[in-house]
Amino acid sequence: MSTSSSTAGASGAQGGHAARPLTGQDYKTLALAALGGALEFYDFIIFVFFAKVIGQLFFPASVPDWLRMLQTFGIFAAGYLARPLGGIIMAHFGDLLGRKKMFTLSILLMSVPTLLMGLLPTYASVGLLAPMALLVLRILQGAAVGGEVPGAWVFVSEHVPRRHVGYACGTLTAGLTAGILLGSLVATGINAVFDPQELVDHGWRVPFVLGGVFGVGSMYLRRWLHETPVFAELQQRKALAAELPLKTVVRDHRGAVVISMLLTWMLSAGIVVVILLTPTYLQTLYGFDARTALVANSAATLCLSIGCVVAGILADRIGARLTLSIGGALLAATACVLYTTIGTRPDLLLPLYALAGFFVGTIGAVPYVLVHAFPAQVRFSGLSFSYNVSYAIFGGLTPVIVSLMLKNDSLAPAHYVVGVCIMGIVTALFVRKRHA
């Protein structure tokens, strides 16, 4: 069967019902996928909310604060650098064996390292073995999330009618970002329950142990999900990829890969800088206490989740190009206002951070572009390769780059976000819906 005819066959699994409304089963699938994704993403990002304490415990006290932060964020970044390998392997089998199998496997690969992180000895106990063990576990987390995020987008987009793909992807992305909110709320609670010394002694371990429990819950939830109609159609028609899926992607879809990678850079800048790193910056650069920083971050992340759903709906209605262009401009503007204002008006932290968080939600339109960029036979591999390689390069190095920029530029977070948003707006001009 030719690529075009088999693509048409796969599209028929959705295309024949493109005009139907979302059903109760669709909403159940979206809810379970989003909730499971939230619990797994919590495991991946909880590290960053305790970066300051981890830096104190896993590196020598004699090193300067900026170097300790750089080393800690370097280990955090290692999780992003490991994403391509895990993502490519799981996507390969996801295109050949089924989306659901890989969608479930990623949870186990995430929850075990998270639990072990909470049990690690510190530098004071075992010296350099402590940061080395932390690095290994962080790499395993990265491999797991490398399959989770692309797999989740493909999974939900292939379950719903074509005219609701933006809503499905936006809702799933909101679920993933809700994992960040969960992490922020847990971190806020931990900082409220434990005093600073108790936090250093043992309190920091609690959120990682909880992450292991969340992983078990995620595995249970995904037992109730079914294989996607698109993959089932391909399997029934014997129209699965005839060669290595990644080979087809690199040979036939290079333009889609480039656009997907650049938009992922914009996505990573919004998440990593504005949401994940800003609580640490608020404490180290602007003098906010941990509780105030985390409460503001929780508000911003809640607004981010709402913004993701709004962006997905807009992508369905007005197209991804316009959604990303307008949203990117507003994200650049609000991020700039946030970082240039809070130093002199700390009372405006909550509303400004919440507004910037909402426009980070523009990223909810990015997966809409990515799932339409590749045909069904290689969709998982194409999306996973583009997204994970880009996140490894840009998302993984962003904490290190911004930390280095901060040595000479106190507004480095704002300047970085604005620059990447301009790139994203330009890239959006080249977005085309290539495949149903």
* Model pLDDT, residue 325: 95
**Residue 3 domain flag:** no
Evaluate whether residue 11 is within a structural domain: no
Tokens of 53: 């304490």
Q: Which candidate, 374, 371, 377, 433, places its Cα nearest to that of 6? A: 377
Within a domain: 5: no
Token pair belonging to 37: 């994704």
| Residue among 429, 248, 243, 433 nearest 322 (CA) | 429
Average pLDDT over residues 15-19: 51
* pLDDT confidence bin for 12, thresholds 50/70/90: very low
What's the pTM value of the predicted model, to 2 decimals?
Answer: 0.79
Q: Is residue 76 part of a domain?
A: yes
Average pLDDT over residues 268-291: 87
Mean pLDDT score, 53-79 = 84
Domain contains 12: no
Domain hosting residue 169, numbered range: 24-428
Q: Among 74-83, 291-300, 327-336, where is mean pLDDT lowest?
A: 74-83
DSSP 8-state class, residue 407: T
Q: Is 200 part of a structural domain of the chain?
A: yes
Q: In angstroms, rounded to a whole number, what is the distance separating the alpha carbons of residues 403 and 412? A: 8
Strand spans (E) along 4-89:
none
pLDDT digits (tens, 9 = 90+) for 209-267: 998 888 877 777 777 777 666 666 666 655 455 567 778 888 888 999 999 999 999 99
Residue 367 lies in a domain: yes
DSSP string, 154-206: HHHHTTS-GGGHHHHHHHHHHHHHHHHHHHHHHHHHHHHHS-HHHHHHTGGGH
Structure token pair of residue 110 = 């995430």
The total number of structural domains in the chain stands at: 1
What mean pLDDT comes out for the span 332-345? 93
> 94: domain CATH number?
1.20.1250.20
Quote the longest CA-to-CA distance of the chain. Answer: 66
| Assigned domain for 18 exists | no
Which residues fall within 8 angstroms of residue 135, CB to CB, at 6 or more apart?
A: 75, 78
